[in-house]
Each structure stands twice: as C-alpha cells, then as structure tokens.
Amino acid sequence: DMTATVLDGKAFAAKIREQVGAHVARLEAEHGITPGLAVVLVGEDPASHVYVRSKGKMTVEVGMASFEHRLDADTSEADLLALIDQLNADPAVHGILVQLPLPEHLDSDLVINSIDPSKDVDGFHISNVGLLGTGQKSMVPCTPLGCLMMLRDYHGSLSGLNAVVIGRSNIVGKPMAQLLLGESCTVTIAHSRTADLPGVVRQADIVVAAVGRPQMVPGDWIKPGATVIDVGINRIEKPDGGTRLVGDVDYESCAAVAGAITPVPGGVGPMTIACLLANTVTACCRANGLPEPE
C-alpha cells in the first residue's frame, strides 16, 4: 500500500480532552478544586483573537475555569506586569498564558519570565526551558508536546530514529528537538542557513516541519516510509479567490511517499490546545500536592 497513514490529531485531541475532563471532574468531586486557566491577550491581532476564543471555549468545555484578559494594544509594560503579578498570586489561577506575539513596545522575554514558572503552561519561561533541556520535570511547550504524543502513539519507541526538525524557534523547533533527544532520537535541527536541506531531510525517519512557509517540503525530500509531522498553519489564496489553510509540507506529494503524515488542518493544531488543557491540570495537581495525570 502506497498511501501514508493519516495521523488524526482531531480525534486524538478529542480523546485527550475527554481524559482531561474526567480528571477535572475528579478534582472537583474529591477535593473541591476547579483548575483555572488565565489567558492574556494584548492588542488586535485577528489570528490571536481566534486562538484565544477557541482556547477559552475548550477550557470551559472540559469543566475548568477560564479567565480572559483582553488588553488594549497600547497597554504599558508596567500594567501588563501588574496583571501577571495579580494572576501569579491568585489561587484560582493554575495556568497563565500570554498570547504571542505581543505588540512591539512590549518586551516579550521580560513578560514571559515574569510568570510564576509553576503556572507557565506554555513552558516558555527560562526556568522551564532549562528544566526541559536538563531532563528535569517542567512545563513542556504545548505544540511540541502534541507532536511528541502523536509520534509516540504511532511508533511506540522512538529510540535510535533519525529526527530532523526544520525550524529553530523557541516556541516549536528548539523544544521539539529537546523532546526528541529525550526519546533517544538522533536529532538534527535545520533552519534557513542549513546547507543542502533536501539532503538533510532525506536522512530522516521523522520530519517535523515548523517553518511558516506554505507547502515548502516536497515529497521528493521524504525518505520512503518516514513519518511527517506538519506544524505549519498558513493561509493561502485559492484559484477561485477564497482562502484555505495549508501546512509547511506539500501534503499530496509527501503523503505519497511517507509512512505516516499529519494533515492540516486536523493534525498538530487541535493537539496544541488539548495539551494546553492537560498542562493546566498538571499545574493544578502540582500546586495542590496531588498526583499528576499520566
């Protein structure tokens, strides 16, 4: 059979949300605790508003408390930091997420590093980055965590596999590489200065594309049977004038060669939010000295 297995992130994410919901119900019934997620959005970025709305909706759907803070685009750094201090101190808030990108006048490193690391459900605080890099218990960034869960589900053990991550952002590429290293893959991180990117990708048993360039990876870069994880979310124009979402890989040609592939939409995207909810339950359990979900 020449057709790749389609890794259904939508169904997988629904299963995770169901498990999160069951855990939330137990925390409520046995301990009277409701996990709470605070999302802070600064400015008018339309894509960010869409993400924040669906995060809030799913937070409520699994039975958690959702606290949304929408601030004007010209909010001062001092006001934003004061809000984060208030959320850090609020016992009803177990997870804090500041939606990126922030407006230019705000220092996002400073803002992220002002979040209590134990409430940093995005896993972007330097102390969580350091803990992940040294193999210690941390908060793991949601998108790479979702990718890893799909890979583990499909492969079982990843030990000894060649993994190529295309992209070196702090949000996706770097933490993805750390997680794969933690699974004992042989990891290559490729980026815009990589020499012979096609040749590098052809060595990969696992390809994770996190580039932000529509359909950049063609099927003839893919080793036959490899697993392709497409993190990209790119909106492109259709010939008829409308728009559609595509990933960073050319789905048709890659699916013809790969052993398994994630679709866009319906692959990594839904897993990201499911992992955010799971991280919030984990943070809540840790804060209360209770056993964590698997």
- Residue with the two structure tokens 């606290």: 67
Q: Mark the segment that binds ligand NDP (CB under 6 A) among 84-92, 121-129, 153-161, 190-198.
A: 190-198
Tell me if residue 99 is catalytic.
yes
Catalytic residue among 119, 120, 122, 215: 122
Say whether residue 149 binds ligand NDP (CB under 6 A). no
CB of 182 closer than 8 Å to CB of 140: no
Residue whose beta carbon is closest to ligand NDP: 169
Report the nearest approach of ligand NDP to the CB of residue 141 (Å).
Answer: 9
The letter for the amino acid at 164 is: V
User: Containing H/E element for 190?
Assistant: strand 186-190
Tell me if residue 55 is catalytic.
yes
Tell me if residue 107 is catalytic.
no
The encoded tokens of residue 144 equal 């790479």
- Of residues 223 through 252, those in contact with ligand NDP by CB under 6 A are 231-234, 248
What are the DSSP E strand ranges found in 36-132?
A: 36-42, 65-71, 95-98
Report the nearest approach of ligand NDP to the CB of residue 268 (Å).
Answer: 4
- Spatial separation of the C-alpha atoms in residues 278 and 265, rounded to whole Å: 21
The encoded tokens of residue 238 equal 């259709």
Say whether residue 52 binds ligand NDP (CB under 6 A). no
Distance from first CA to last CA of the chain, Å, rounded?
Answer: 35
- Of residues 76 through 95, those in contact with ligand NDP by CB under 6 A are none
199 is in an annotated binding site: no
Which residue, 144, 98, 142, 90, is CA-closest to 287? 90
Catalytic residue among 1, 8, 45, 55: 55
Where do contacts with ligand NDP occur on this chain (CB under 6 A)?
Answer: 143, 166-169, 171-173, 190-194, 197, 210-213, 231-234, 248, 268-269, 272
Q: What residues act catalytically? A: 55, 99, 122
Annotated binding site: 167-169, 233
